[in-house]
Amino acid sequence: MSVNIDRYESAVARYFEAWNAGEPEALAKAVAAAWSVEGTYSDPLASVTGHTEIAGLIAGAHAQFPGFAFRPLGAVDGHHDTARFAWELVSEADGSAPVAGFDVITLDRDGRIRSVLGFLDRVPAGA
């Protein structure tokens, strides 16, 4: 089972690298490393497909929350090609975390993300 746990944790680490990449070139590279070519991302506020749209979504989150970073909360849990994990969006200035949720990912045979289903547990008013 540790092989699968390592696979899930590696995929989630690449996921957070993508969400925390700041520069457009680094973001594009991180998204390509984390997601399959036709990978998807869906949460209550967005539904996108492919590297370009996923990178655009992430860039939009950075624009809406400048100076914030996504951080994992707790352990990654998974079975077969599916994993789940919790996260929060943390201010690098004061440590506040106005946004939190959890995601469920499915992986392709190479360990890259095929799909993300995101759930938002905490969202500031007006976001």
Q: What is the pTM of this model?
A: 0.93
Spatial separation of the C-alpha atoms in residues 36 and 32, rounded to whole Å? 7
Question: 56-93: per-residue pLDDT in tens?
Answer: 999 999 999 999 999 999 999 999 999 999 999 999 99
Residue 124 pLDDT > 90:
no
Integer CA distances (angstroms), 76 to 39, 44, 101, 123, in order? 20, 22, 13, 22
